[in-house]
Amino acid sequence: MKPMISPVGRSSCTSILIGKKATVDGSVIIGRNEDAKTAWPKHLAFNQHQIKKNNIFKSKDNKFQITLPNERFSYSSTPEWIDKYGVFEEDGINEYHVAMSATESAYANDRVMAVDPFDEEKGILEEAMITVVLPFIKSAREGVERLGKIVQEHGAAEADGILFADRDEAWYMEIGSGHHYVAQRIPDDSYAVVANQLAIQVIDFSDKKNFITSPGIQDFVYQNNLWPKNKPFNFRLIFGTHDDSDLTYNTPRVWSGQKLLTPSVSQDPESFDLPFIRKPDHPISIQEAQRVLSDHFNGTKYDLTNSKNEGQPAYRPIAVATTQESHLLQLRDEDMVHWLAMGIAAQSVYIPFYPQGTQVPTMFKYGKEEFTTNSAYWVFKMASVLVDRNWSKYATNLVNTQKATNLALNKLRVDYDKKLAQEKDNAKKIDLVNEANKKLADVAIKNYQKLIAKLITAQTADSPLRFKIDPNL
């Protein structure tokens, strides 16, 4: 039995799922921060409807291989700048209004790994999940079932958390070992914030409406003495980790997200008992969901932008320098929004792209590991680097740019929503969508280019080689 493996260069993520009765407008929202390296660009892609016979997917990361359906639905995604280690499309919305986001959530419990042998070289990895699932499903539940079948047949080479949503439901799925998984429907009036721990708690096997599990998971657990039969079947306790490192790396992120959305409840950031499901104190807006994924313990004694915490942070925050992109996938009736913030969410802006587009805005197609000026990813990262030189001094410039850009983006999106509602011709609708996506991208990038120019100009005075003669001499 080999240990579970992780893809090259991957790190950790924070996710959020919100039910339709917990949001201000009745939309279902899922999203997360994709964290890997401080310099590892992402692109945006609009993958078109396709009929392809003998459609076989082969992973570049391991030997996982699967025959796919001939018909592929159109979908948005955020692939890596290079597919050497796999495609890592990571997140998107397909033409049936189904959203999906896949993340490496946690390492499996050692005792579980020891009794669930599988061939790690042929198991599905995070890098392939969006590619082999999202283009072929018509509902969130169907997504859980499709990925579940793949895990049963091929195994999973890592412990993952996968987010699914459609216009009615949000589902969270966790793979706890090579072949075993559970999925739970997020109650309509609730939300979940998940860090790098297995999060799902007690499973009700009789409740088929709200739970989906791998066949035989109970027998597997009981036969291997992983949990007593006379106790509620707690997936988190059976399959997850409960290490001291979790108390600084994982639970504080969940605590922080729940503190923002349910401030009426007092909790300890170093608690293993934070609930998977929470009800918000009030309906959640998309801006509040963005605030969660942008959080670095703002305004608390743990805030990493506070000079007192430099070099000795107490806890790992939600927003970190290794974030490649942050996304929120929002579905309501016929409306779909792929909110995308390149780089660190706290220093970027969420652009409300139309996922049904066919033309990717130019600068969202470019960007390699080394800095270039023609890449959307690098525009936002450059602004981050400049602000980081002195956060207290330059944060005001950043915040002002974020506020102005968000207002402009939201107004532009509303204007095009109205135009699309009035247009009946499908071809002309796609033209409008492509036009809107281009304008949305241009507004965000141009505003950040102006911010960069302002910061560079101001920072010419920050040189240690400054010399000023006293006028009295």
Residue 51: burial class (beta carbons within 10 Å; 0-12, 13-18, 19+): exposed
Q: Is-contact 131 87, C-beta < 8 A?
A: yes
CA distance 19 to 170: 6
Q: Which residues contact 136 (CB under 8 A, 6 or more apart)?
A: 68, 69, 71, 72, 73, 146
CB 323 within 8 A of CB 40: no
Distance CA 164, CA 208 (A): 17
Q: Scan for tokens 């639905």, then name that residue.
A: 73
Q: What tokens appear for 451 in the block?
A: 């911010």
* Catalytic choice (13, 157, 254, 331): 13
Closest listed residue to residue 32, CA positions, set 148, 160, 201? 160
Could you write out the DSSP letters of every residue in 358-404? SS--GGGS---SS--TT-HHHHHHHHHHHHHTTHHHHHHHHHHHHHH
Contacts of 1 (CB under 8 A, 6+ apart): 113, 114, 117
Alpha helices in 214-333 (DSSP H): 217-223, 235-239, 246-249, 251-261, 286-293
13 is catalytic: yes
- In whole angstroms, give the CA distance from residue 101 to residue 161: 9
Of 270, 244, 257, nearest in space to 318 by CA: 257
| Residues annotated catalytic, as ranges | 13
